[in-house]
Amino acid sequence: MANITKKVSWSSRGDESGAAGEETPLLNGSEQSRPLRQMSSGSTVFQIGRLSTVDLDEEITTEEQDSARGRPKEIPHNEKLLSLKFESLDYDNIENQLFLEEERRMSFMAFRCLEISRWVICGLIGFLTGLIACFIDIAVEQLAGLKYKLIKENIVKFTEAGGLSISLLLWVALNSFCVMWGSIIVAFIEPIAAGSGIPQIKCFLNGVKVPRVVRLKTLVVKVVGVIFSVVGGLAVGKEGPMIHSGAVLAAGVSQGRSTSLKKDFKIFEYFRRDTEKRDFVSAGAAAGVSAAFGAPVGGVLFSLEEGASFWNQMLTWRIFFASMISTFTLNFFLSIYHNKPGELSNPGLINFGRFESEAMEYNLYEIPLFIAMGAIGGGLGAFFNFLNYWLTIFRIRYVHRPCLQVMEAMLVAAVTATVAFIMIYFSTDCQPLGPDHTEEYPLQLFCADGEYNSMATTFFNTPERSVRSLFHNPTGTYNSLTLGLFTLTYFFLACWTYGLAVSAGVFIPSLLIGAAWGRLCGILLASTTSTASMWADPGKYALIGAAAQLGGIVRMTLSLTVIMVEATGNVTYGLPIMLVLMTAKIVGDYFQEGLYDLHIKLGSVPFLHWEAPATSHWLTAREVMSSPVTCLNRIEKVGTIVDTLSNTSTNHNGFPVVVQVSGDDEPAKLCGLILRSQLIVLLKHKVFVELARSRLTQRKLQLKDFRDAYPRFPPIQSIHVSQDERECMMDLTEFMNPTPYTVPQDTSLPRVFKLFRALGLRHLVVVDDDNRVVGLVTRKDLARYHVGKHGLEELHLAQT
């Protein structure tokens, strides 16, 4: 709603007013209407977000100038906004008296038991994640098998008789039908389940409370949705959603209850707080990666790279345990499913197949080639992200109604099938069907008997199988034209697909595109030199290309290297894969951010990166903090508290608690910090001083009451406080955190940032020399600053 801007002047930029129009993000077009509408409703809106030391009138002018000046140049989007709707998770324990009393009561043995429970939970998380992966795999295999069999029979029937358009129609209809259901449940039931879920999990681990992201409903929609979309033949993978699924499972299992199902097992109550929950969600995400790629170490690294702000040996070890259990469970149940119990050859959903060391060793002179391929991957990845970025903006503006989203998804499914059909139809790349062919559904079409259509091995198959074929099929299986055409079409299809309202991952399509052009590179190399044996196997180049493309799109670093190495099952490729990913990242970052970061940015999420922007030493806490702050007295009138909480224009979540020292003339000193959620529980249980006196036998409020309410605290509106009660007093001493972290006003932004990020804070109180509250730093105050093309830039805050 309100959109409050603030200018910061940089010495490096002389002409501030002139530059502002170019750099300040704009709100116009469809997005602009809302802020303007709000603005007319009076000056109150400016109390919504945060007030700074800057004059308000000035701000309004600036913004209006901006939108007026910028309109002809910039197309509207919300990349440079920071939404105020996201709350923060609290990764700092609220060490109030209740908590400390509980901790002090606990014996050493009790802590041991807790530790053991943590291991048990991690084991459970791993096991269940493995089971879900297994379920998805089997369901997809069965349904896709059914579909391909049906279509293949149909095609065989009509190839000779003519009328292949009927086959096409069948294919299109089947795909659209599947995708329709996959899209309907996502768009109408749980929109947060769309996409791979990786950006959402990144945000969660970063400390942003993304609404409904770890709920049971999301999990169900995610799992069913991904089955439909993969079976529907979209250019998607089933790997990304596994990470989200693992995380949801972890959040559920670790709490020992399901709020959705209204079932409380009365176990693991100690873990009902953000700090502990995050650790388990990390484990869940890792278990998901592990099940998806058969990469337990990669899973751990993924969790750490995305989530951990503080590395803890035991935590890491537990996460690794969950990962191992997960891949093992999947492996075990799939081995039973494949009627080879005990043969553990399917550690992940995607199986790169076995790379034999001898056949595929690389030589020193190939390394520059690999690096060049990395650069290509980086460039293509940036192009992919660029296209997807504009597509997403288009979707935000025009395709936001659920039924439109479903229709778009169906359209993509139909187009995918049609394109695939046309490509296969016109392809003349016939290959002999060897005795040991690995194709599940070889299409003969117009090829001679004993031969099959090579294009069909890439299109007429689940993407996972196509990747494997590209890696391992012997030299000569594909001709260059097939690969080139396939790369081109699949690139655009995958780009169009990502961001649809279906549950689907981008890993496999990226790998497939990369494997196709990588293999093409290998074939071209072999054809340019006379000694073909020098470039032994095009499969090797397919692998490098796949790594380059994936790296260029998602820009993960260490974790992706390890995931790729583990998925190939061969350490030999460590160095080339690392070089390729590094090059792809450097080249890609030059043009455009990674796909996940882009989507996080487009969601206006207050995401905290690893470090404060390098050039932000100019700013101090005084400038970044929100002020003035609504403070509460240690013994406060209930009416005041209710009014403060009910004030929709502020909607604060943390309140410094202050105490008046001597007389009214001197400002109050900080003595604690209390959260909205705590106050709500207190109000609900009517913990008022007068009541406590009159009813001495009344049960004392315990930590358990707070835990029972976690994480869905009721809104203030649902709590009825009578007029008499409003006159009562509340003593916050016992419930507030008496030792909140504080910083002096002059602390530089990087220093504030470091403290905030390293400890996973939600509120950081800024105090003056006399320990008086002067401001409050929250996540959005820090996430606002980022390095743009012209130095430090500031995002606008918006109530979108």
Q: Which of residues 339-378 bind a second copy (CB under 8 A)?
A: 341-344, 354, 357, 361, 363-365
Q: Considering the rule CB under 8 A, would residue 124 count as an interface residue with a second copy?
A: no
Q: Which is nearer to a second copy, 52 or 316 (CB)?
A: 316
3 state DSSP class of 555: coil
* Token digits of residue 440: 């599940």
Query: Minimum distance from CB of 152 to a second copy (Å)?
Result: 34
Query: Minimum distance from CB of 282 to a second copy (Å)?
Result: 12
Query: Where do we find the tokens 């394109």?
Result: 419
- The Cα–Cα gap between 203 and 247 comes to 12
Find the binder of a second copy among 73, 104, 700, 720 (CB under 8 A): 104
Which residues, numbered 709-748, are part of the site for a second copy (CB under 8 A)? Answer: 738-739, 741-744, 746-748
**Cis peptide leading into residue 442 (ω within 30°):** no
Q: Which is nearer to a second copy, 283 or 423 (CB)?
A: 283
Q: Which is nearer to a second copy, 254 or 583 (CB)?
A: 583
DSSP code at position 740: -
In angstroms, the Cα distances linking 295 to 121, 243, 244, 326, 577 are 20, 12, 16, 10, 15
State the number of binding residues for a second copy (CB under 8 A): 84
Handedness of CA 709, 715, 718, 723 (dihedral sign): positive
Which residues, numbered 409-468, are part of the site for a second copy (CB under 8 A)? Answer: none
Q: Which is nearer to a second copy, 122 or 227 (CB)?
A: 122
Instruction: Give me the amino acid identity at 43.
Output: S
Which residues, numbered 532-571, are part of the site for a second copy (CB under 8 A)? Answer: 557-558, 561-562, 565-566, 569-571
Query: Minimum distance from CB of 798 to a second copy (Å)?
Result: 27
Which residues, numbered 166-195, are part of the site for a second copy (CB under 8 A)? Answer: none
Tell me if 168 sits within 8 A of 176, measured CB to CB. no
In degrees, rounded to 5, the angle at the alpha carbon of residue 83 between the alpha carbons of residues 495 and 707 is 105
Find the binder of a second copy among 47, 65, 83, 93 (CB under 8 A): 93
Query: Minimum distance from CB of 700 to a second copy (Å)?
Result: 19
3 state DSSP class of 459: helix
Instruction: Give me the amino acid identity at 536.
Output: A
Find the binder of a second copy among 300, 544, 736, 798 (CB under 8 A): 300
Which residues, numbered 496-515, are part of the site for a second copy (CB under 8 A)? Answer: none
Find the binder of a second copy among 671, 673, 683, 773 (CB under 8 A): 671
- β-strand pairing of 87-88 with 763-767: unpaired
Q: What is the 3-state secondary structure (H, E, C) of 358-380?
A: CCCCCCHHHHHHHHHHHHHHHHH
DSSP code at position 626: B
Query: Minimum distance from CB of 318 to a second copy (Å)?
Result: 10
Query: Minimum distance from CB of 10 to a second copy (Å)?
Result: 10
Q: Which is nearer to a second copy, 191 or 569 (CB)?
A: 569
Nearest to 431 by CA among 446, 447, 410, 445: 447
Q: Which is nearer to a second copy, 479 or 742 (CB)?
A: 742
Q: Which stretch binds a second copy (CB under 8 A): 52-60, 315-323, 400-408, 442-450?
A: 315-323
Tell me if 46 sits within 8 A of 56, measured CB to CB. yes
Find the binder of a second copy among 239, 279, 305, 781 (CB under 8 A): 305
Tell me if 548 sits within 8 A of 518, measured CB to CB. yes
Find the binder of a second copy among 328, 421, 441, 471 (CB under 8 A): 328
Query: Minimum distance from CB of 309 to a second copy (Å)?
Result: 7
Exposure of 249 in the CB half-sphere (CA atoms within 13 A): 29
Q: Considering the rule CB under 8 A, would residue 530 count as an interface residue with a second copy?
A: no
Q: Which is nearer to a second copy, 250 or 767 (CB)?
A: 767
- The Cα–Cα gap between 126 and 250 comes to 9
3 state DSSP class of 348: coil
Find the binder of a second copy among 543, 578, 625, 703 (CB under 8 A): 578
Query: Minimum distance from CB of 730 to a second copy (Å)?
Result: 21
* Token digits of residue 560: 């992706």
Query: Minimum distance from CB of 462 to a second copy (Å)?
Result: 24
Longest dimension (CA), the chain: 100
Q: Which stretch binds a second copy (CB under 8 A): 248-256, 304-312, 429-437, 539-547?
A: 304-312
The interaxial angle of helices 558-568 and 296-306, nearest 10 deg, is 170
Query: In 669-718, which ranges are continuous DSSP H helix?
Result: 676-684, 689-694, 703-709
Q: Which is nearer to a second copy, 56 or 100 (CB)?
A: 100
Find the binder of a second copy among 771, 786, 799, 800 (CB under 8 A): 771
Tell me if 408 sits within 8 A of 515, measured CB to CB. no
The residues with which 453 forms a beta bridge, in sequence order, are 430
Tell me if 235 sits within 8 A of 490, measured CB to CB. yes
Find the binder of a second copy among 145, 759, 786, 800 (CB under 8 A): 759
- Give every CB contact of residue 113 below 8 A, 6+ residues apart in sequence: none
Find the binder of a second copy among 68, 106, 113, 120 (CB under 8 A): 106
Find the binder of a second copy among 122, 230, 242, 304 (CB under 8 A): 304
- Give every CB contact of residue 451 below 8 A, 6+ residues apart in sequence: 430, 431, 432, 433, 444
Query: Minimum distance from CB of 252 to a second copy (Å)?
Result: 25
Which residues, numbered 580-639, are part of the site for a second copy (CB under 8 A)? Answer: 582, 610-611, 614-615, 617-618
Tell me if 371 sits within 8 A of 583, measured CB to CB. yes
Nearest to 243 by CA among 291, 182, 184: 291
Q: Considering the rule CB under 8 A, would residue 755 count as an interface residue with a second copy?
A: yes
Find the binder of a second copy among 34, 685, 754, 786 (CB under 8 A): 754
* Token digits of residue 569: 């099952």
Find the binder of a second copy among 296, 377, 539, 603 (CB under 8 A): 296
- The Cα–Cα gap between 679 and 672 comes to 13
Query: Minimum distance from CB of 740 to a second copy (Å)?
Result: 9
Q: Which stretch binds a second copy (CB under 8 A): 15-23, 305-313, 504-512, 773-781?
A: 305-313
The interaxial angle of helices 574-591 and 558-568, nearest 10 deg, is 140
Find the binder of a second copy among 44, 165, 310, 359 (CB under 8 A): 310
Output Rg (C-alpha) for the chain, integer angstroms.
29
Query: In 294-366, which ranges are continuous DSSP H helix?
Result: 296-306, 313-337
Q: Which is nearer to a second copy, 64 or 101 (CB)?
A: 101
Q: Which is nearer to a second copy, 87 or 793 (CB)?
A: 793
Q: Considering the rule CB under 8 A, would residue 275 count as an interface residue with a second copy?
A: no
Q: Which is nearer to a second copy, 497 or 678 (CB)?
A: 678
Query: Minimum distance from CB of 321 to a second copy (Å)?
Result: 7
Instruction: Give me the amino acid identity at 214.
Output: V
Q: Which is nearer to a second copy, 35 or 296 (CB)?
A: 296
What is the signed CA dihedral for 667, 640, 710, 759, rounded to 10 degrees? -10
Q: 160: burial class by Cβ within 10 Å (0-12, 13-18, 19+)?
A: exposed
Q: Considering the rule CB under 8 A, would residue 9 count as an interface residue with a second copy?
A: no
Q: Considering the rule CB under 8 A, would residue 666 count as an interface residue with a second copy?
A: no
Query: Minimum distance from CB of 769 to a second copy (Å)?
Result: 6
- The Cα–Cα gap between 193 and 87 comes to 19
Q: Which is nearer to a second copy, 557 or 800 (CB)?
A: 557
Query: Minimum distance from CB of 743 to a second copy (Å)?
Result: 7
Query: Minimum distance from CB of 118 to a second copy (Å)?
Result: 12
Q: Which is nearer to a second copy, 311 or 435 (CB)?
A: 311
Q: Considering the rule CB under 8 A, would residue 282 count as an interface residue with a second copy?
A: no
